[in-house]
Amino acid sequence: MIVVLTAIVSIGLQLLGYIWKWGHVDEPQSGTPSAYLIPCRVTHSREHPKKHAFSYFYLAVGILIGYRGNVNGMISVDDPDVSTSWLSKIWRARSWFRVYAADYLERGNNKLGLRAKLDNYLRSQDANPADYPHAFLVTAPKFLGYQFNPVSFWYLYSPDWTLSAVVVEMNNIFGERRPYLVLRDTTDDATRITSNEGFQLTPVWVNASWKKDFHMSPFNSRKGSYSLLARDPFEGNMEGFSGIDISLNLVSSKDQPKLDVRLYSEGKALGTSHMGPLEQAKFVLTWFWVGFLTFPRMVRQAASLFFYQQLHIWYRPEPLKDSIGRLADTTEAKLELIFRHYLRFLVEQSTSPLSVTYVPSGLLESSEETFTSPGAAVHPEQAECLKIKILTPVFYSRFVHYAHDFEAIFCELAESCTIWVDQPETLPKIFLKKQSPPLHVPSFMDYLYFKTIQRLRRRPARITRPMTSAGSVRPTTTPEDVRGFRISPMDAFVLQYSSQETRASYRSLLARMFVADRVFFGRPAIIDALLLSGVFGVASWLLSFGSATSC
């Protein structure tokens, strides 16, 4: 009820704002529409280990990639939004439904737009973007700033508008992404004709299979394979949108069918270029609730599978190399910046000719960066090239738990798999295996903090996978490292080369994490709650004390 009331109020605010700036929306377009509203239905059919089926309404939009702007005040694509607050975003919104580059493919480079991000992804898959100059995206849009978008489909067309591939971009509820490039098998398409209607070609379908390597559902492991059957939504005629029909099937690692999901148009898609105000209002009032209820519906079905069907849960593993990790939290984002500076420092101090490409994880705007050692700058032809890709932002909070860089990098690479390196044998030239430096601090407060950090620091537990609710219970005790620790090399770097503000932030973050590990079950949020309660308690006491003295 609260969600519905909030949505109604938000729609009212946006409607008032929309009427207020009616003359400032883009003019209706002529020719082929750049965007479509696509009423759909989704069906889920689970075959193994228990049978379970359900369906629900779903609203998708279709976007011709390359267009940027506002289509008749109904759909905006990569339209800049300078609003800061949720209320101002609703009031100042120039369209009802929105598609932003930030919500798709790689993190960062959002100002480039959807087309450029798609081209970057194709290059990363050793595909030539020139082979696919036309693209059409089917996705769930943002409405009132909210979006639940489990999967998007990028239809890729050749220069003559022949459907040649599909990018299936999956998103899980943890904010992780995995795009798959699925190429169309054209071996038998040339001879596929209808039998009784002359030589008219049948609608083009993309039919392909690929290995599963992404955690999408808590009731399925990361093993198995997907198969896709997707029809060309234009059927070779770009002047007429014929609707979508997509089937995505999951097969277990033992070749047993597990899950069939189908997304198909239900009713006629609407080109938004010439929708009038009344038609727009009718559509919004008819479909606004669909996006908000998709996730609660999924939760309800998940509860049925867990409690009534007795399916066990596969806990989320950390993503693999080709996946895109979740967004970093505040602590991880701050530690990432310090780790980036530290890695640059190590490379620049190396006596070997090195060129290190660093790919961060979990940041909205920060992209990869290349660091070069002095030897590589003088003799670039002799440089050893190394790529370090962080797979998940949890790496940053785990790295500071180690007292030795060499141990940290190789444990996270070989055991916990939170990073990926293309040339692991080159790592010892950056992360030297040496004793940690003694504690030298510029202030007494730094001494207290880093002495506490030194005492509380302990190696993090290995991330095990796979983990299920049917697995064995973890041991309640953590093995103690009996080695005597000094401060870590990154601690020493922060103390010696960082500003006072950075030192204060770093020591506070580490002390907070390490105390939480020892006392509050690894939950720093409990410390924040206790501190907040203490502040309110002191404020309440001061107010009551002031009232008593005034009497």
pLDDT score of 146: 86
pLDDT tens sequence across 171-211:
999 999 999 999 988 665 543 333 344 444 466 899 999 99
Report CA-CA distances (Å) from 530 to 357, 524, 527, 533. Answer: 41, 10, 5, 5
pLDDT band (50, 70, 90) for residue 275: confident
- 273 contacts 25 by C-beta, under 8 angstroms: no
Q: Is the pLDDT of residue 535 over 90?
A: no
Separation CA 27–CA 50 (nearest Å): 52
Confidence grade of residue 355 (pLDDT, cut at 50, 70, 90): very high
For residue 466, whether the previous peptide bond is cis, meaning omega lies within 30 degrees of 0, is yes
Contact 56, 41 (CB under 8 A): yes
Under DSSP, the state recorded for 95 is: -
What token pair was written down for 485? Answer: 């620790």
Q: Any idea which residue has 């889920």 for tokens?
A: 44
pLDDT given at position 194: 36
- How wide is the angle at C-alpha 384 spanned by C-alphas 383 and 386, nearest 5°? 130
Q: Of the candidates 334, 517, 340, 481, which has an alpha carbon nearest to the alpha carbon of residue 403? A: 481
Cα of 297 vs its chain's centroid, Å = 22
List the helix and strand counts (H, then E) for the chain.
12, 19
Residue 312 has pLDDT above 50, yes or no: yes
Of residues 246 and 109, the one with the higher pLDDT is: 246
Q: Which amino acid is at 44?
A: H
- Residue 355: strand, helix, or coil: strand
Confidence (pLDDT) at 435: 64
For residue 468, CA distances in Å to 220, 312, 403, 417, 474 come to 10, 7, 31, 18, 11
Residue 184 and residue 158 in contact, taking contact as beta carbons nearer than 8 Å:
no
Question: Is residue 109 within 8 Å of residue 117, measured between CB atoms?
Answer: yes
Q: What is the mean pLDDT of residues 209-223?
A: 91
Q: What would the pLDDT profile of 365-420 be if each residue is shown by its tens digit?
A: 777 899 999 998 888 888 899 999 999 999 999 999 998 999 999 999 999 999 99
Separation of CA 159 from chain center: 31
Percentage of residues of the chain with pLDDT beyond 70: 79
483-522 in b/e form (b: 16+ CB < 10 A) is eebbbbbbbbbbbeebeeeebebbbebbbbbbbbbeeeee
Residue 103 is predicted with a pLDDT of 92
Alpha-carbon span 77 to 80, nearest angstrom: 9
Q: Which two tokens stand for residue 319?
A: 């993503």
Nearest Cα to Cα of residue 62 among 216, 324, 210, 240: 240
- Supply the pLDDT for residue 546: 63
Under the banding of pLDDT at 50, 70 and 90, the label for residue 80 is low
Q: Cα–Cα distance between 148 and 59 in angstroms, integer? A: 11
- CA 163 to chain centroid: 27
Q: Express each pLDDT in 97-151 by its tens digit.
A: 999 999 999 987 778 899 999 999 999 999 999 999 999 999 999 988 888 999 9
Task: Kindly report the backbone phi and psi dihedral angles of residue 12, in degrees, each rounded to the nearest multiple of 5, phi listed first.
Answer: -60, -45
| pLDDT, mean of residues 497-504 | 91
Residue 482 has pLDDT above 60, yes or no: no
For residues 316-344, average pLDDT: 93
Give residues with Cβ within 8 angstroms of 531, minimum separation 6: none
Give the percent of the chain with pLDDT over 90.
44
pLDDT of res. 551? 58
Residue 137, phi then psi, degrees to nearest 5: -105, 130
Average pLDDT, the chain: 83
Mean pLDDT over residues 49-53, rounded?
89
* pLDDT for 157: 94
Residue with tokens 């290190």: 356
Q: Which residue has the tokens 């899980």?
A: 172
545 has a pLDDT exceeding 70: no
Q: Which residues contact 45 (CB under 8 A, 6 or more apart)?
A: 52, 53, 259, 260, 261
pLDDT at 21 over 50: no
